[in-house]
Chains A and B, each alone.
Chain A
């Protein structure tokens, strides 16, 4: 996304048709166009800071669909982040979001938090877990934390099964590290199978997107610097991610943040140019995959395209391309494959009523195509979709990597 800072919003309203929040609320103030208008008014001092102004500009999934579809090329994404920062400075933040930022700003705090939570999950009585909800997701439906953080469970350097064809640096993201290590293990196996040497830098930390979304720019900058240092100088062919939001950060936000902080964006740009999401990377190397000839049965699969995959990598087409190429898959496209699920980082927690409406519609459509697996390459989408399924909905939500791995030929 190249930012065009001189550009004015022409108020054409095209963004209304792609904004998931507007489509639910059907009120102009929920739209990207209105938010730009309010930001302009605030900057021109015709509107002053207020809790309502903060609420209106924050009621946004940060999915990036407005920016991706804007005929004037406005980068709503960065304008919204900037405004959120101003609003947090002027109005403060809720205690829950504050503690999230506190956790994500330091890796050791995250580890400690995860340890505590893991213990907590063991001790929370079932009856209690069943009855309470976090945002729109019942507590009992939250994923169990990894027993050992993913990066701790793996060596920093992993060698391929066959002749080495290249080197990748793997940015694992917090979700794979603490929640969904199945995604990470599957990705490593696929990369080894392809012939890639994998480097998982130990010093990497949260990509900072949650911090940037909630206006904690200073803390974000520290994380970003840590990550750039961890990812640079590996002479890798690609920096791969299994979460497109982390990918979006590395690809678009890091260079921007460096420039905004008056720092040389050379290393950030270098890394940005190498960032690839898992599915684009697999598509590019598809010919190096050998599938198990014994897998004869076909499995019915549907897919949910995460907003950041769609808007930042344009790679929902890769996912669908791969799915239609896999010999053991019967791909059943849902009519709303491109619609947002309402997860949106912490959106599902902050605005459960809006989020619930969105996810329920997704579930209804996914069930209607009668698939047994529902693939999605974003951990928040996965948590949101899986968390809102009922026990008797025979649909399992997984990262596409897990499925691809399960059908590979043993080497």
Chain B
């Protein structure tokens, strides 16, 4: 509970309507898409940078923990207020400030939903490439704080590649602005990269200038199946090695394909050991040329069935199969865990072997789903959290999966972030001095450690 005097000062800034502290309401901000939960003492909905600044001045003065929240879709618990305090929820600070496609940028407030950015750009023939699975719910502020990715980031890159400038409120309440509306800008440190993926531990994002790109003229989509999972993975490395960068290359194994087919009946090959959903885009002629080469490469790797979408409806059907995978696995048990270890593309076949081996050892059901083109694996394990023994196995299996990824020059997280979920494993991929260096930065900008405390730094 916050002290009445502090509470009154906070209410004075935003008004009583945008301040919540009754238990029934607080319970709705104790969670995100991760498994843990912690109640905040208050939830505040700021609408302006000035309000955020005033709020942080008070939080600093009384050393109250502050956790930023967009739509609460973090998969690693980044928005869970584990040390309680105040949750700043940005869902009401949601204006699109400027759309400028001739200078190729859009300026937005942090609470704008990713999908709404896409909708605003569509009439101009532009889009914003980062496309996390949560894009119709999650906010740009959250996307930046987590450096979100998505299937098409294989070709286009992740959030950090699209943030041209930002306005950030520091723990002290000071407001800093960096970057600009210029595609080229090497003036000073590239601070936007520092804040991308900072998970709310360095400052609170209040505005962002995002780079946007023209929509491609043509899109081609292909579903390929193989009778061998190794060949499936090898086709991925071969295609990329031959100089083609598809928009997306989504890998699914036999268990996943069959689970989808059981429910959705899309005519997928049940005997296939692995499949790839490949999409390319660009100029029409170039797409056709690339498609030919992709087909050659998958044939060389023993593709058993190649299906090209001939119209938008067929394309939608292929993607529907891919997108439904998570939901279908989620229904196999009361809970589901999915992580996002990532390895260099050439190590994808090895990593898949490792994951299969480890989950077999612990006798867990597991489906392989991967943004294979960028080595981003999503092993999905349906399990029952209330079954202590089974849950222990899940945790042990993931610990081994992280270890295996590290040994293959991989990393803990390709797109979900570290948050509460993976901070214990940081030493697997970072030495002591590097972790120390992150702490030094944190200390310098947030000396009282009030911003999203209890997380990875």
**A and B bind:** yes
Contact A72 B331, beta carbon cutoff 8 Å: yes
**In this assembly, does B261 line the interface, its C-beta being within 8 Å of a C-beta of chain A?**
no
Question: Judging by beta carbons under 8 Å apart, are B385 and A71 in contact?
Answer: no
Q: Is B131 an interface residue (CB 8 A)?
A: no
Which A-chain residue is minimally distant from B386 (CB atoms)?
A8
Residues from chain A with Cβ under 8 Å of B27 in the complex? 34, 37-38, 41, 47
Is A6 in the interface zone, CB < 8 Å from B? yes
Task: Tell me whether A73 is interfacial, beta carbon within 8 Å.
Answer: yes
A29 touching B31 in the complex, CB below 8 Å, given contacts A8-B334, A10-B335, A13-B72: no
- Nearest CB of chain B from residue A315's CB, rounded to whole Å: 19
Which chain B residues numbered 42 to 74 have a C-beta less than 8 Å away from chain A?
45, 71-73
Assess whether B33 is in contact with A10, with CB atoms less than 8 Å apart.
Answer: yes
Closest B-chain residue to A15, C-beta based?
B137
Instruction: Sort chain B's interface into a size bin.
Output: 35 or more
Instruction: Give CA–CA (A73, B264) in the complex, Å.
Output: 13
| Smallest CB gap from B26: residue in A | A29
In contact, B334 and A7 (Cβ under 8 angstroms) = yes
- Please determine whether B71 and A56 come into contact, CB atoms closer than 8 angstroms: no
- Interface membership of A17, Cβ < 8 A: yes
> A53 CA to B24 CA in the complex, in Å?
6
8 Å CB contact of A29 from B24, B73, B111: B24
Residue from the list B28, B113, B331, B385 in contact with A37, Cβ < 8 A: B28
Stretch of B88-96, B219-227, B230-238, B362-370 on the interface side: B88-96
Within 8 A of B (CB), among A9-57: 10-14, 16-17, 26-29, 31, 34, 37-38, 41, 47, 50, 52-53, 56
Could you tell me the dominant secondary structure of chain A's interface residues?
A: loop
Q: How far is the CA of A60 from the CA of B99 in the complex (A)?
A: 34
Q: What is the distance, in angstroms, from A84's C-beta to the closest C-beta of chain B?
A: 15
What residues of chain A lie closer than 8 Å to B331, measured between beta carbons? 4, 7, 72-73
CA A10 – CA B75 in complex, angstroms? 10
Residues from chain B with a CB closer than 8 A to the CB of A29 are: 20, 24-25, 28
| B32→A11 contact, CB < 8 A | yes
Assembled-state Cα–Cα distance A27/B26 (Å): 11
**Contact A26-B336, Cβ < 8 Å, known A14-B137, A34-B28:** no
User: Is B408 an interface residue when CB atoms closer than 8 A count as contact?
Assistant: no
**Are B73 and A6 in contact, with the CB atoms below 8 A?**
no
Question: Is B115 interfacial (CB 8 A cutoff)?
Answer: yes
Confirm or deny: B29 has a beta carbon within 8 angstroms of a beta carbon on chain A: yes
**A26 and B91 form a contact (CB under 8 A):** yes
B9 at the interface (CB under 8 A from A): no
Residues of chain B lying within 8 A (CB to CB) of residue A26: 45, 91-92, 94, 111
Question: CA A274 – CA B294 in complex, angstroms?
Answer: 49
B residues within 8 A CB of A14? 134, 136-137
Q: Is B327 an interface residue (CB 8 A)?
A: yes
Please name all residues of chain A whose beta carbon is closer than 8 Å to the beta carbon of B92 when the two chains form the complex.
Answer: 26-27
8 Å CB contact of A17 from B24, B29, B113, B326: B113
A85 CB, min distance to chain B CBs, angstroms: 18
Min C-beta distance of B141 to chain A, whole Å: 13
Instruction: Judge whether B201 is part of the interface by a CB distance below 8 angstroms.
Output: no
Residues of A within 8 A of B34 (CB): 11
Identify which of B45, B113, B115, B385 contacts A8 (C-beta below 8 A). Answer: B385
Contact B385–A38 (Cβ < 8 Å): no
- Give, as a whole number of angstroms, the nearest-CB distance from B110 to chain A: 13
- Min Cβ gap B367→A in Å is 14
Q: Does B388 contact A (CB under 8 A)?
A: no
Interface string of B322-333 (1 = CB under 8 A from A): 001011001100
| CA–CA, A47 and B335, complex, Å | 23
Q: Whole-angstrom distance from the CB of A48 to the nearest CB of chain B? A: 9
Q: Mark B11-32, 1 if CB is under 8 A from A, else 0.
A: 0000000001011110111111
- For the complex, what is the distance from the CA of A7 to the CA of B334, rounded to whole Å? 4
- Once A7-B331, A28-B72 are accepted as A-B contacts, the answer to whether A13 and B45 lie under 8 Å apart by CB is no
Closest to A54 in B: B24
* Chain A residues with CB under 8 A of B94: 26
CB distance A38 to B334 under 8 Å? no
B113 proximity list for chain A (CB < 8 A):
17
Contact for A27 among B91, B115, B326, CB less than 8 A: B91
Q: Are A37's CB and B137's CB within 8 A?
A: no
CB B197 to nearest CB in A, in angstroms, measures: 20
| Residues in chain A near residue B346, CB distance under 8 A | none
| B336/A52 in contact, CB under 8 A | no
- Choose one: B20, B71, B385; the contact of A13 (CB below 8 Å): B71
Contact A6 B24 (CB under 8 A): no
Whether the pair B33, A13 counts as a contact (CB closer than 8 A) is yes
Bound Cα distance A12, B335 (Å): 12
Separation in Å of the B416 CB from the closest CB of chain A? 12
Among A6, A17, A37, A52, contact of B31 (Cβ-Cβ < 8 Å)? A37
Question: Once the chains bind, are A13 and B134 in contact (CB under 8 Å)?
Answer: yes
Q: How far is the CB of A396 from chain B (nearest CB, A)?
A: 30
Contacts A13-B138, A29-B28, A41-B27 known; list 9 others, CB within 8 Å: A7-B331, A10-B336, A11-B33, A13-B73, A27-B45, A28-B89, A29-B20, A38-B24, A71-B330
The 6 closest A-B pairs by CB, nearest first: A71-B327, A17-B136, A34-B28, A13-B73, A26-B91, A29-B28
Q: Give 10 CB contacts A-B under 8 Å.
A: A7-B334, A10-B336, A13-B32, A14-B136, A17-B115, A29-B24, A37-B30, A56-B25, A72-B331, A73-B331
Residues of A within 8 A of B (CB): 4, 6-8, 10-14, 16-17, 26-29, 31, 34, 37-38, 41, 47, 50, 52-53, 56, 70-73
